[in-house]
Amino acid sequence: MKPALCMAGALLLTCFGLSAPTFATEYPLPPPDSRLIGENTLTQVPDNKRPLEDIAARYKVGLLGMLEANPGTDPWLPKAGTQLTVPLQMILPDTPREGIVVNLAELRLYYYPKGEDKVIVYPIGIGQLGAATPTMVTSISQKVPNPTWTPTQNIRKRYAKEGVTLPAVVPAGPDNPMGLFALRLARGTGQYLIHGTNAKFGIGMRVSSGCIRLRTEDIEALFNSVPKGTRVQIVNQPVKYAVEPDGKRYVEAHQPLSRTDKDDPQTMPIALSANLKSFMKSDKSDTALIKATIERRSGMPILVSSGEKVKDDTPLPAVLQGAQEGQSATISQAMGESAETLPQ
């Protein structure tokens, strides 16, 4: 995907588009020593009084990803005429490039079709607080078209506390919370699935009862592409980093998954691996900028090479300017996690 008008931004690598068509989720697979894919773009909020989800769906990104990139944006009624960054550039997770890879922290699913030099990326919804989607390495055990939904005892109890009595079985069809397609994972009793949804909201958020959900057109495409037996790896990597073939260094930080309802994903600490600490301490890395990037949690790759000059026509994000001067940077939480309880 190559938007028509690009500007070589040293930090955001942002591309400007005059229109906002539906963007493909398919990217050429970079060589083994590269992990950076895609290009960010800018869009303007139309005067249609529609929620931010409308823009997120048009660009095939998740809602929280849009909020990470554009803190302070009203998710229900973004201000018409506001220019927003659409986070379409990313660092591939640190995993084998095989089958399906889900990174819970960034709320994205990566599919590496066997024998093809590409990766397809989808935004997802995952398990909410108290019903977290677990990390695992497993496989697709079953492909289920037109699934029915049988709420578990725990789900029925959760709804009962809210005064909602769920039926024993929800039949297949457009009103089924699992959508029209489901991929069952081999883990455990098969209780975890990758499936669709009948909701118009919640992709790119923690809203499910543990399953992984996709928008209707995305699950149909994935369902038709993924063979039974495909490897599935689910990881939780809130901070990704890469050294590209040209020597440039990037860090991409996302809000970590909260563990309790008192956690603030924007300010809660992120555990740093030994390899990441080594990356930060390198004299080739701008340590202050890396720390500010992890604190900012924009969900976009940021160039953090030591001594890298920023072009005059690409101003630093305000939250990172202080880091370039050796100062600390902070940003308040734009939006809390959804309190809505939706079916698995």
- How many Cβ atoms are within 10 Å of 230's Cβ, its own excluded? 20
Burial status of residue 339 (CB atoms within 10 A of its CB: 0-12, 13-18, 19 or more):
exposed
Q: Which residue has the tokens 């699992």?
A: 178
- Assigned token pair, 18: 């005059």
Under a CB-based contact definition with an 8 Å cutoff, are residues 178 and 208 in contact?
no
Cα angle 36, 38, 42 (rounded to 5 degrees) comes to 130
Beta bridge partners of 112: 99
Catalytic residue chosen out of the listed positions 6, 15, 195, 254: 195
275: Cβ–Cβ under 8 A, 6 or more apart, which residues?
none
- For residue 195, indicate whether it is catalytic: yes
Under a CB-based contact definition with an 8 Å cutoff, are residues 268 and 81 in contact?
no
156 closest CA partner among 142, 138, 170: 170
Look up residue 72 and give its amino acid.
G
Catalytic residue chosen out of the listed positions 6, 15, 211, 254: 211
- Give the orientation angle of helix 287-296 with respect to helix 274-281, to 10 degrees: 130
309 closest CA partner among 85, 9, 5, 7: 9
Give catalytic residue positions: 195, 211
